Structure 1
Amino acid sequence: MTTYRIAVVGGTGPQGRGLGYRFARHGHTVVFGSRSAEKGAAVAAEVNERLRTDGFAGSVETSGASNAEACEAADVVLLAVPYDGHDELVATLPLAGRTVISCVNPLAFDKQGPHGRVVDGGEGSAAESAQRIAPDAVVVGAFHHVSAPVLWGDRDYLDHEDVLVCGDSDEGKQVAIELARTVTGRDGVDAGRLRLARQLEPWTAVLISINKKYKVHSGVKVAGL
């Protein structure tokens, strides 16, 4: 498997930290980005300690940086940020020429529970917004449905679920499909064009509702492959 230098934008959040940890323990170089380099460094230290505890010391390099600094030398950029402020943040990042993986879920919550937010009048998604803002990057959507507590948990692989990958570039999707092996132990599933992020992103609200009802950390598994 190809190894990458991966910038995790929003690396101080639970999803970014968990995915960064999974990438790092499989030999990828991970830089945890944050609005402040100090916060990124604190998460990097936490992940380094976890890697040492798990017996992966010396196999990877992790460090912290501001979000823009983390992207500068990266091959792959993971966007793991809240949707609020997403577009403004993406516009500040050096993303040209890089594979950008968006796991951003535009969600809202009211008295009835979680639901997907309408993006661009129903004709857009967070991933598509990132591609529009950074036209010289290759944007794919992936890792939307993997629970942050499970990512940080003790299982070697989350082999009970699949990572669904959408994008308009076969090469870009292949990067995310390969990285899925660090999480599930197998290739991610090619789920079609980037516009299908409009369906994948809000599906997370369904999983949150299931988790609340059954007190679990649910995921997505594709049957019949």
Structure 2
Amino acid sequence: MACHALLVQIGVLGATGPAGRGIAARLASLGYEVLAGSRALERSEAAVLALQEKWGNKVKTLFPVDNDSAANCEMVIVATNWEAAVDTTILYSSALAGRTVIAMANGLEKVGQEFRPVIPPEGSLSAAIQAAAPEAKVVAAFQHIPASTFAALDKKMEGDVVVCGDDDDARNVVLGLVASMPDLRGFDAGSLVNAVGIETFAADLLSINLRHKGKGTLRFLGLEGYSSEANR
């Protein structure tokens, strides 16, 4: 887990929602110190207490805070639902300046029995988050890992994580984070402009899983010998 040496704390904005709770718990189970943020401290306290009651020492490095505190960590994950992601980022844009910020949400709407992508004027939700915090180093990652998969600490995660962002160092740090997660592989997809393809594919993936009643994830074939560390 080489990434541990690079990170002191990871802050999660919106850690009381499904995605936020899941990724906060998963990272804490790997030994990271995670500050689970919320607009209201009492909501974060309740969410962390529920996770502690369920998982015990597996989440002993998970701590409840408000979003202000979470936004001041070395790495910050925007884990709110996609509708709130940009507004939340705007609120903390000053605190996020110079920090590595992971954008993990996808703009999606459900129409009948399928999901459709919602593409903002910036081209992707990740790009919109970057525009909302222009001095932050925004990296798109984890768009295809379900919240329930992160949250199931008694089960391994499998899949490939596409990582893109305009700052090379920040992208490498996130690839290192992925490398510390057993059974996940991270792949460097270059600059943040490529996030549009990552995010829109999530609609296809969800629609396929819905139609076939499955839990499919993304896996690249022909790249079996590669790892997140090899991509760095």
Q: TM-score, normalised by structure 2?
A: 0.86
How do residues 128-207 of structure 1 correspond to structure 2 at under 5 angstroms? 128-159=127-158, 161-207=159-205
Q: CA deviation at 1:143?
A: 0.3
Which residue identity does 2:58 align to in structure 1? F
Query: Please, which runs of 5 or more residues in structure 1 have no aligned partner?
Result: none
Overall identity of the aligned pairs, in %: 32
Contact 2:24–2:62 under 8 Å retained in 1: no
Distance in 1 (alpha carbons) for counterparts of 2:218 and 2:101:
22
Pick the structure with more helix per residue.
2
Q: CA deviation at 1:113?
A: 2.2
How do residues 80-95 of structure 1 correspond to structure 2 at under 5 angstroms? 80-93=79-92, 94-95=95-96
Distance in 1 (alpha carbons) for counterparts of 2:110 and 2:214:
19
- Does residue 68 (structure 1) correspond to residue 68 (structure 2)? The answer is yes
Distance in 2 (alpha carbons) for counterparts of 1:47 and 1:196:
34
Q: CA deviation at 1:186?
A: 4.7
* SS of residue paired to 1:85: helix
Distance in 1 (alpha carbons) for counterparts of 2:53 and 2:154:
17
Which residue identity does 1:153 align to in structure 2? A
Contact 1:37–1:64 under 8 Å retained in 2: yes
Which residue identity does 1:208 align to in structure 2? L
Write out per-residue CA displacement over residues 8-67 of structure 1, whole angstroms, 9 at most, x where no aligned residue.
111111111111111111111111111211111112222333442xx536xx52211222
Write out per-residue CA displacement over residues 153-209 of structure 1, whole angstroms, 9 at most, x where no aligned residue.
2555323x1111011112111121122134443541112211111111121111111
Which stretch shows the higher mean deviation, 146-155 or 209-218? 146-155
Partner of 1:210: 208
* SS of residue paired to 1:91: helix
Partner of 1:44: 48
Query: Which of these residues, 13, 25, 32, is aligned with residue 9 of structure 1?
Result: 13
Distance in 2 (alpha carbons) for counterparts of 1:154 and 1:61:
14
Distance in 2 (alpha carbons) for counterparts of 1:182 and 1:214:
31
Q: TM-score, normalised by structure 1?
A: 0.89
Which residue identity does 1:14 align to in structure 2? P
Contact 2:140–2:192 under 8 Å retained in 1: yes
Contact 2:100–2:170 under 8 Å retained in 1: yes
Distance in 2 (alpha carbons) for counterparts of 1:82 and 1:6:
19
- Does residue 27 (structure 1) correspond to residue 20 (structure 2)? The answer is no
Query: When the two structures are aligned, how many residues end up with a matched partner?
Result: 217
Write out per-residue CA displacement over residues 49-87 of structure 1, whole angstroms, 9 at most, x where no aligned residue.
3442xx536xx5221122222212x11000111222332
Contact 2:36–2:48 under 8 Å retained in 1: yes
Partner of 2:227: none
* SS of residue paired to 2:83: coil
Which stretch shows the higher mean deviation, 24-33 or 84-93? 84-93
Query: Please, which runs of 5 or more residues in structure 2 have no aligned partner?
Result: 224-232
Distance in 2 (alpha carbons) for counterparts of 1:186 and 1:146:
10
Contact 1:119–1:126 under 8 Å retained in 2: yes
The CA RMSD over aligned residues, in Å, is 1.8
Which stretch shows the higher mean deviation, 15-24 or 177-186? 177-186
